[in-house]
């Protein structure tokens, strides 16, 4: 834990300046009037702030703070409860108050007195407060700023106790209609695959009888040949796979996306990118509910979450189950278009659909759907991506741009190649755009 850092040491308060000004006036009066009693009074008035300043320097307690949130990762639109545990070592002279510093997007942090009304047997004062989290991102909670003053209240010192704690706010998924993916094998939750260990026709689907196997599964020809009871091999169930392509091209989202500001605050991205991230989160949640394992790719074929500073598993090839979905949500919390991490564009490279992406989609085979969530896309870009639709059980594309019709050419190219594609704007409801994939009308 970082050591406390003084921001203002021995700053005089309004009361302190009152002592100094009054003392100076009395001193001038004493000299003008030749009054010794006024001289004594002026010395006293001037010594009070001086003594208070020295006391704040000599009796500076060591402060520590522990901060936790419940839940530790919050979904956008939800509330979190923040817990603070503050303690000190050394002498505590005068009065002290605390203030939790928060990013402006999260509101104003609370002020509280220290020590608290109730102090534990370990000498720790505990506090808690509610926090609204309207947007996805990485937010720094804290630091706690301590304001201490002497017993007379004439000097004040401000100290930052800690460096703050990162809070991850994930995008909130939107419920999607199941009818768009109806008829796919993954809807039933599993894909039946036959495991063949031996090419012999009689044995390829047989194994030894085990207690509890139904007699209707006995393979009599194999039983006669092996001299022991054999049954037909069970089909093994494997989770179906789905691929989500999240567009992170710089050119697809011309406006600088959300990023930490110099003060450590997180600024939301442009509406088009925020829409794309929420749509990707919604699709991931929908597919996970259907027991699909998930792959998230960028348009250049790289793992999409490898570009996210909030990802807990950036190099994971796929995510499955509720734990996997939670990892996807955490990765999407602070994801940005490539090259926007520092708010600069840099050289215009890597803004196309890469061969690596097409190779990985081809290797995907017919094991599940492909869902592409794209930003501004040209017809030429769409022609590169279009053949990938033939290797998926179903290929779907949500193309978001700043105004209707901006990507109509790309949508038409994808549709002609067999994709279910629709164009949307940031004002389009994500569930309406999803439902429109299998319709002929656009959702605006």
Q: CATH number for the domain including 267?
A: 3.40.50
**pLDDT of 269 over the 60 cut:** yes
Q: Residue 436: helix, strand or coil by DSSP?
A: helix
User: Is residue 327 included in any domain, yes or no?
Assistant: yes
| Maximum CA extent, the chain | 130
Same domain for 228 and 95, yes or no, is: no
Q: In the listed set 117, 136, 170, which residue is the last one of a domain according to the structure?
A: 170
Query: How crowded is residue 309: how many other Cβ atoms within 10 Å of its Cβ?
Result: 14
Cβ atoms of 150 and 52 within 8 Å: the answer is: yes
User: Is residue 109 included in any domain, yes or no?
Assistant: yes
Same domain for 213 and 309, yes or no, is: no
Hey, which residues does 178 pair with through a beta bridge? none
Hey, which residues does 165 pair with through a beta bridge? 141
Rounded distance between C-alpha atoms, residue 349 and residue 277, angstroms: 22
pLDDT at 141: 94
Least confident of 50-59, 69-78, 411-420: 50-59
Query: How crowded is residue 214: how many other Cβ atoms within 10 Å of its Cβ?
Result: 7
User: Is residue 86 included in any domain, yes or no?
Assistant: yes
User: Is residue 44 included in any domain, yes or no?
Assistant: yes
Highest mean pLDDT of the ranges 55-59, 116-120, 195-199, 379-383: 379-383
pLDDT at 36: 87
More confident residue, 185 or 100: 100
Same domain for 164 and 227, yes or no, is: no
What is this structure's pTM? 0.79
pLDDT at 226: 82
**pLDDT of 174 over the 80 cut:** yes
Cβ atoms of 73 and 133 within 8 Å: the answer is: no
Hey, which residues does 32 pair with through a beta bridge? none
Tell me which residue range forms the domain holding 220: 195-234
Cβ atoms of 245 and 255 within 8 Å: the answer is: no
Same domain for 139 and 70, yes or no, is: yes
User: Is residue 378 included in any domain, yes or no?
Assistant: yes
Highest mean pLDDT of the ranges 233-247, 308-322, 342-356: 308-322
**pLDDT of 9 over the 90 cut:** no
Hey, which residues does 296 pair with through a beta bridge? 244
- For range 364-387, the mean pLDDT: 91
User: Is residue 266 included in any domain, yes or no?
Assistant: yes
The H-or-E segment that residue 52 falls in is helix 36-58
- Sign (positive or negative) of CA dihedral 265, 270, 271, 276: negative
Same domain for 380 and 314, yes or no, is: yes
- Which CATH number fits the domain that encloses residue 139? 2.60.40.10
pLDDT at 414: 96
Same domain for 74 and 46, yes or no, is: no
Same domain for 51 and 73, yes or no, is: no
Same domain for 374 and 400, yes or no, is: yes
pLDDT in tens, 394-441: 999 999 999 999 999 999 999 999 999 999 999 999 999 999 998 755
Same domain for 264 and 316, yes or no, is: yes
User: Is residue 338 included in any domain, yes or no?
Assistant: yes
Mean pLDDT of the chain: 83
**pLDDT of 61 over the 60 cut:** yes
Rounded distance between C-alpha atoms, residue 355 and residue 386, angstroms: 13
Instruction: Give the pair of three-digit tokens for residue 333.
Output: 């919390």
More confident residue, 331 or 54: 331
Domains contained in the chain, number: 4
DSSP class of 319: B
Cβ atoms of 153 and 109 within 8 Å: the answer is: no
| Bond preceding residue 12 cis, omega within 30 of 0 | no
pLDDT at 259: 55
User: Is residue 441 included in any domain, yes or no?
Assistant: no
Same domain for 50 and 87, yes or no, is: no
Rounded distance between C-alpha atoms, residue 85 and residue 100, angstroms: 12
- How far is CA 112 from its chain centroid? 29
Least confident of 159-163, 199-203, 400-404, 430-434: 199-203
Rounded distance between C-alpha atoms, residue 113 and residue 63, angstroms: 14
Same domain for 263 and 305, yes or no, is: yes
Q: What angle is formed at CA 100 by the lines to CA 96 and CA 104, rounded to 5 degrees?
A: 145
Same domain for 274 and 419, yes or no, is: yes
pLDDT at 199: 39
User: pLDDT grade, residue 1 (50/70/90)?
Assistant: very low
pLDDT at 192: 40
Q: Where are the beta strands (DSSP E) in 291-419?
A: 293-297, 370-374, 395-400
Q: In the listed set 184, 214, 234, which residue is the last one of a domain according to the structure?
A: 234
pLDDT at 86: 94
């Amino acid at each position: 834990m970082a050591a406390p850092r003084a921001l203002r040491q021995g700053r005089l308060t309004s009361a302190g300046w009152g002592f100094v000004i009054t003392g100076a006036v009395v001193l001038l009066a004493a000299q003008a009037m030749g009054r010794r009693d006024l001289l004594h009074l002026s010395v006293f008035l001037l010594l009070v702030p001086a003594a208070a300043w020295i006391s704040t320097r000599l009796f500076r307690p060591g402060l520590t703070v522990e901060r936790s949130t419940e839940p530790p990762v919050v979904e956008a639109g939800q509330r979190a409860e923040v817990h603070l545990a503050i303690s000190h070592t050394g002498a505590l002279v005068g009065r002290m108050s605390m203030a939790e510093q928060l990013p402006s997007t999260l509101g104003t942090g609370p002020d509280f007195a220290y020590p608290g009304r109730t102090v534990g047997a370990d000498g720790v004062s505990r506090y808690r407060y509610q926090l609204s989290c309207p947007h996805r991102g990485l937010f720094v909670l804290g630091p706690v700023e301590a304001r201490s003053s002497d017993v007379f209240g004439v000097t004040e010192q401000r100290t930052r106790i800690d460096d703050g704690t990162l809070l991850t706010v994930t995008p909130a998924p939107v419920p999607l209609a199941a009818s768009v993916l109806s008829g796919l094998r993954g809807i039933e939750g599993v894909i039946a695959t036959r495991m063949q260990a031996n090419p012999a026709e009689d044995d390829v689907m047989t194994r030894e009888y085990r207690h509890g196997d139904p007699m209707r599964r006995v393979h009599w020809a194999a039983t006669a040949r092996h001299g022991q009871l054999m049954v037909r091999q069970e089909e093994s169930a494997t989770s179906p796979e789905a691929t989500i392509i999240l567009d992170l091209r710089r050119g697809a989202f011309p406006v600088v996306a959300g990023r930490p500001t110099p003060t450590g605050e997180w600024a939301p991205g442009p509406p088009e990118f925020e829409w794309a991230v929420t749509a990707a989160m919604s699709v991931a949640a929908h597919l996970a509910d259907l027991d699909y394992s998930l792959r998230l790719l960028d348009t250049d074929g790289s793992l999409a979450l490898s570009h996210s500073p909030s990802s807990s598993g950036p190099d994971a090839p796929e995510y499955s189950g509720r734990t996997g979905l939670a990892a996807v949500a955490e990765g999407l919390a602070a994801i940005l278009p490539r090259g926007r991490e520092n708010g600069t564009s840099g050289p215009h490279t890597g803004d196309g659909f890469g061969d690596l992406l097409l190779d990985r989609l081809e290797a995907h085979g017919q094991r599940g759907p492909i869902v592409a969530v794209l930003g501004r896309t040209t017809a030429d870009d769409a022609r590169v991506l279009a053949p990938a639709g033939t290797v998926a059980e179903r290929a779907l594309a949500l193309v978001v741009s700043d105004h209707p019709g901006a990507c109509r050419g790309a949508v038409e190219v994808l549709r002609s190649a067999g994709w279910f594609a629709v164009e949307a704007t940031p004002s389009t409801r994500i569930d309406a755009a999803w439902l429109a994939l299998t319709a002929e009308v656009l959702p605006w």
